[in-house]
Amino acid sequence: MRLRLVVIGDSMLDIDIDGTATRLSPEAPVPVVDGEQLGQRPGGAGLAAALAARHGAEVTLVTAIGDDGHGRTLHRLLADVGVDVLALPVAGSTACKTRVRADGQNVVRLDQGTGTAGTFTVPAELDGLLRSAHAVVAADYGKGMCADAGVRALLTGIAADIPVIWDPHPRGSAPTAGAALVTPNEAEAEHFSGSAEELRSRWGARAVCVTLGPRGAVLATGADSCAHLAPEHSVVARADTCGAGDRFAVAAAMALAGDADVASAVAHAVDAATRFVGAGGAGSMSTVTALPHVLTEDRLPRGFAPITDDLADVARRLRRSGGRVVATGGCFDLLHTGHVRLLHRARQLGGALVVLLNSDASVRALKGPTRPVMPAEDRARVLAALACVDAVCIFDELSPETALATLQPDVWVKGGDYTAADLPEAGVVRSHGGDVVLLPTVPGYSSSRLIAAARS
């Protein structure tokens, strides 16, 4: 069963312009950035919703989005990851944050649009939507959505039955009473002038967790209960921590929705946020395109064979060329629209995409004696011809665990209605610090259905 989450709060469009800087401007002593690629992703509550959908939840986002260019782009990005949106009026234009970075270092940030929640009547369907959820995340970025009296009354009303996880902001409202978990970071806790336990008592929350970045988190659940939870993995230096709070809140919400106790949920969230930062942070959620004036070179080193059975060589060459390695796998018996969309979106999560392809023997074991329709060599050639695929490796086992142990990708992508618990290979991926990403499939497309239709 897929978990149903409602995310309610303030959304924005986040844009990253990445490039290099090798000279200063003659007009002023500032770096000149040669832009190479542009990344776009949902921000704020939109990022929290996208993260929940990426990790297998059925998600509805309740937020204010304008009918403008940034708002339409935000709608499209959310639809691409399977997020349903209940859009409410926005005062002014949709908020947009643009970061310009040179060699991974922020140079400047440009903010556009007021993006505050306008005057609205709480939709009649919102109460039922909240009560049908397994958990609710309030992503309060201080732009008015979580300050609305009607919204707050509904959140207070469901708190006894449904976990409400509140991610606060210094410019936002106090959490509603009865929240299952409130998740300020260390700076926000200092702004609110209180320890985890003091804030828990002041806000009337069942638990407050103060996140400490790479040091983990402090959880308070009562006057005599305060625990420090350290992460299991370390974060690389200069890692981009943008979005870590959203990943933490969503991971905790999904754990609580699955009936975990709050200590277990927070421990899971600490680990999930640490892995998220290590895998590239919010940038891993971006749809990335090359800027029009950039002529890109081949992504892989000269002489690289796109179809190979030497995974160790693939791993070595990709690591040498830099960038995050993304992997996905499957039979890909008859390539269709759903496959192409999955591969394209997987490639956007990193610098290179490796497809682990089931051999003919493993396809027969999984699908029956009449499959595959296309032999492995032909399936590999078709996949390797796609611009979004950098390498194809054929494996014989039923599960790609052995192949993943050799490749050690930064991200492992699967499509369909899986949860991480359904994937035996998830433990292998995470054992070397990788992240598991679940992408929704395109309804109506499957190789089995196409083959059955052809045979009939």
Backbone CA torsion sign across 201, 202, 204, 209: negative
How many Cβ atoms are within 10 Å of 29's Cβ, its own excluded?
Answer: 7
Helix (H, G, I), strand (E, B) or coil at 131: helix
Range 271-296 burial, b when 16+ CB lie within 10 A, else e: bbbbbbbbbbbbbbbbbbeeeeeeee
CA distance 386 to 363: 22
Q: Would you put residue 51 in left (φ > 0), alpha (ψ -120 to 50) or beta?
A: alpha
| Catalytic positions, written as ranges | 246
CB under 8 A, 24+ apart: contacts of 153-161: 154/122, 154/126, 154/127, 154/130, 155/8, 155/130, 157/127, 158/130, 158/131, 161/131
* φ/ψ of residue 235, rounded to 5: -105, 140
Peptide bond into 306 cis (omega under 30): no
CA distance 144 to 152: 11
CA distance 282 to 244: 8
